[in-house]
A and B are shown apart, each in its own frame.
Chain A
């Protein structure tokens, strides 16, 4: 494999896993999807110019995720007695650890005025991640590609196979939900201050 391509894959593997993990909520499936996307990129588009790799890779990953979701829906339809998607074990661990374990939070505390603020910020971040996980697939991927990965509206639209207008609509809805969540957290925080 081209060393440049290897470097590219190394640079995006964790982000791709995070995206797939948010969409599937399962480590094994996320790993498998990332590997499949990487394999397809290497085999089919490895000879392309390096500028094209990122949008191509995310397009392949989106296709893999869409296929995975369709497959899950089919399985759920036929095996309706089975449980829905499992909850995120790492999320639960993180929520549990948040109260007691602050080993890696020293840096976080140093950036804020008080431990309360740092804790509030951390809680808010967990809530945001939980919200992103609950979003419909297309809204979620739209936000991740456009806002987190920094793809253009057009590249996002191409990766998701939708129009530019749909990308903007999805982004608007996600932003609304995020702002509502942040506002709720702010309100809770203020209420805690008043009672405290």
Chain B
């Protein structure tokens, strides 16, 4: 027969965890009155505050804005200076008819004047020089002799 405990539930060996929680609960009652009063006062101070979430301006937009400004300034600075608008292109580039008229020679007006003062002999020589220059710029294949068709006959 089991002996009956005369004082049931009076002293049970609690687990370490239970004991710790019990100790912590008991320690709440031991908080001094002045501390409790200060806690209460702190909480009352918060009562006047707005509970709506404050949407503070995000701090990241300042550096991001700076970086964007720098990038834009650099892009503008490094942009090629040539004016590529259609009007500018028309002014700077000679039309096809102009090229034909001048023979695609890039000559100054004074040079043109000198050309007009050349004699016939000098003019022929200049044309020969021009022909030699044209010949030198031809590819080598075009200079190979044409096949002789009727050599045998």
Which residues of A are in contact with B by a Cβ distance under 8 Å?
A: 1-2, 5-6, 9-10, 13-15, 17-18, 27, 31, 34-35, 38-39, 42-47, 90, 94, 104, 111-113, 117, 121, 124-126, 128-129, 132, 143-144, 147-148, 175, 178-179, 181-182
Contacts and interface: CB of A to CB of B under 8 A. Distances in A.
Interface residues of B, number: 34
Interface stretch (B35-43, B64-72, B77-85, B132-140): B35-43
Given A90-B30, A144-B24, A31 B42 contact: yes
Contacts, number: 110
A28 to B, nearest CB: 9
B86 interface: no
A182 B19 contact: yes
B23 A39 contact: no
B10 interface: yes
Interface stretch (B44-52, B95-103, B109-117, B121-129): B44-52
A46 B24 contact: no
B20 interface: yes
Contact of B16 (A9, A27, A129, A182): A182
Nearest to A124: B19
Interface of B: 7, 10-11, 16-17, 19-24, 26-32, 35-36, 38-40, 42-43, 46-54
B32 A90 contact: yes
Interface centre among B36, B38, B43, B49 (most CB of A within 10 A): B43
B57 to A, nearest CB: 15
Given A15-B28, A112-B11, A129-B27, A34 B42 contact: yes
